[in-house]
Structure 1
Amino acid sequence: MRSSRAVPLTLAVVFAATACGAQVEPTAAAETVTVPRCGQQVAYRTPERVVTYEGGSSDKMFALGLTDKVRGYVMPPANPPVTESPYAAEYAKTELLSDDLLNRELVVDSGADMVVAGWRSGFSAERGITPELLDRLGIASFMHTETCYNYPGFPEKVAPLEGLYADMTRLGAIFRVPEKAAEVVGSMKQRVAAVAAQAPKSATPPSVFLYDSGTDRPNSAASQVPPNDIIRIAGGRNILADQNARWTDVGWETVVQRQPQIIMILDYGEQSAQQKIDFLKSLPILRSVPAVRDNRFFVLDYNEGISGPRNIDGLERFGAYLRELPR
């Protein structure tokens, strides 16, 4: 079993894997903790110089009070400005290392001892930056559990919000702040439960289509990404929940056939949310879709739609939106 650092197991704090991470069995003067990285058990020393990719990774660190452990962040330009983030003050204390994609040279040059990113959302075999490669360089890596669905060799499939809880618990273990992680996860679960309790009850929940991008074929959210949980827990039904995938392309014919009552717009990229709405309204093929006909569009911030603490903000906002819809 490969680990990020070769260390005697007698020095490890070993975790028995659970849905949200593990239960701790500490040893005296422990130097490492063993935590799941997708389906692989990996031993971590406490990192001091972490590089984070995109808002979800940074926000997880900030929510755990670990700003001082962040060496810097990588934020592609399509992402919403960090000045608009609830964690804007924490970003201001942290260096922007690049406004491009994550790459090996940047990580090495920054002196990072750990990288936090997602599989195929930061880490990429095609671009030559993978956890396995970083292991060989002596640099630890942490992957968002939600992205482990199709990680080669060590997949891990969990509901997206369960993946968020797992990440907070696992990062709390790696950085030796388990109490803070338990507090954060407990608060998240309370907020989620409150939305679920208030969700409109209907034998036929309102159907929702998420529009990410695309003209010839729209890109949307299937069952393995946070918007699916946001829609479901708030009281709706993702029209692509039957697709066992993460982000996926579909045909416009599928959207028309499934007749969504609400279209959720993922707000990021060069097109504004309003430009995306205007585009959808301009398509003749969508004129019969109830969401377009009734002008029912909900805008989800990009960082509410990728794995991170802001998933809960997006859930609360969408829950309120559904409750306000006329029945």
Structure 2
Amino acid sequence: MMTPPERPKRTIVAAAVVAALLTGCGASVQDDPQASDRVPVMRCGEKVDYRKPERAVAYEGGSADKLFSLGLADRVAGYVMPPANPPVSESPWAADYAKVKMLSDDLLNKEIVVEARADLVVAGWRSGFSEQRGITPEILDGLGIQSFMHSESCYNYPGFPQKLPPFEALYSDLERLGQIFGVADKASEVVGGLKQRVDKVVQQAPKDNPVPVFLYDSGTDQPFTAGNQVPPNDIIRLAGARNVFAGLEARWTQVGWEAVTKAAPEVIIILDYGDQPAQKKIDFLKTSSRTKDLPAVRNNRFFVLDYNEGISGPRNIDGLEKFAAYLRGLNR
């Protein structure tokens, strides 16, 4: 998935100052009675002893949604929301967003985290955390700031990779965050509800002759699409269709238009960004000589997937339900 241009980094506060800043704390939620002060939880493939956070910082809607779905708004010091994200007012947790400070509309960086007096940062590997921008779990460990990575992003995390199917990664994240925050019972309840919704979709899904589907993220010279390590792959698969690039061991990745043409998708999913609207992408596909004759384009079979239904978070299940309903209404 393409990210907005990076802006110049500012001076980073020294580690000693960071330690002093981290003494602040916020409100608490109802904890599980057996929760201890430190709990060992996997961070990708590495076991980490977590202190119970009071001032979490979330990067993008998926991270914040996971925390809000567990009833942890009072433990969130703020969120970072770059331009790709649609307005938070559209979220099922809009009321929680309204109670929490928006820290930046830029990419995640150390200064934001330090100024927020964060004791936990929730983001994805290379989607929030970045070696190039100097904010990684290892660097934050050295500053005394805890970090949590979306399991969906862990398959190529250096040193401690972990590979889970995207929806299983979502469930795992909610359960792990439940352990870290001491709300494991709530996490089990939330995960159970999501799994029930997924099971209902699977029961209704067509079993034969799956529709070939191409996800169009962005790009004109070469398109970005979804490999098998991101939620849209599971959305397509569980709805009873077939991601034409499911064979790619990748997250958001670039392919060639020739490969798209050869795949002859019958449906195109358009990922709708806040700063790259779906209609503009549809107009391009309808007019480009490389795409206007694709079966999906000729038959006007476009399905718009909201950005926060496509990145790892509870809204993945909303996207699955909507796409499954769309597929059931197709007349092939």
- TM-score normalised by the chain length of structure 1: 0.90
In 2, the alpha carbon distance for the partners of 1:109 and 1:213 equals 33
Q: CA deviation at 1:294?
A: 0.5
- 2:309 equivalent in structure 1: 304
Deviates further, 270-279 or 163-172: 270-279
* Superposition map of 1:88-127 within 5 A: 88-127=94-133
- 1:258 equivalent in structure 2: 263
* Superposition map of 1:11-160 within 5 A: 30-160=36-166
Q: CA deviation at 1:109?
A: 1.3
Equivalent residue of 2:305, what SS? strand
In 1, the alpha carbon distance for the partners of 2:276 and 2:70 equals 32
Q: CA deviation at 1:288?
A: 2.6
- 1:165 equivalent in structure 2: 171
- 2:211 equivalent in structure 1: 206
Q: CA deviation at 1:31?
A: 2.2
In 2, the alpha carbon distance for the partners of 1:195 and 1:29 equals 35
Q: CA deviation at 1:200?
A: 1.5
Amino acid in structure 2 at the alignment position of 1:318: F
- 1:5 equivalent in structure 2: none
Q: CA deviation at 1:269?
A: 4.1
In 2, the alpha carbon distance for the partners of 1:201 and 1:40 equals 38
- 2:235 equivalent in structure 1: 230
Structure 1 runs (4+) greater than 3 angstroms displaced: 26-30
Runs of 5+ in structure 2 lacking a partner? 1-31
Does residue 317 in structure 1 map to residue 322 in structure 2?
yes
Equivalent residue of 2:140, what SS? helix
Does residue 291 in structure 1 map to residue 296 in structure 2?
yes
In 1, the alpha carbon distance for the partners of 2:293 and 2:219 equals 20
In 1, the alpha carbon distance for the partners of 2:47 and 2:33 equals 17
CA contact (8 A) 2:123 2:148 kept: yes
In 1, the alpha carbon distance for the partners of 2:242 and 2:278 equals 22
In 2, the alpha carbon distance for the partners of 1:28 and 1:87 equals 28
In 2, the alpha carbon distance for the partners of 1:42 and 1:27 equals 21
Q: CA deviation at 1:87?
A: 1.1
Could you give the per-residue CA deviations for residues 134-161 of structure 1, whole angstroms, max 9, x where no partner exists?
0000000000000001100000001000
Q: CA RMSD in A?
A: 1.3
CA contact (8 A) 2:85 2:273 kept: yes
Runs of 5+ in structure 1 lacking a partner? 1-25
In 2, the alpha carbon distance for the partners of 1:198 and 1:97 equals 42
In 1, the alpha carbon distance for the partners of 2:275 and 2:321 equals 26
In 1, the alpha carbon distance for the partners of 2:268 and 2:173 equals 29
Amino acid in structure 1 at the alignment position of 2:69: A
Q: CA deviation at 1:30?
A: 3.2
Deviates further, 36-45 or 284-293: 284-293
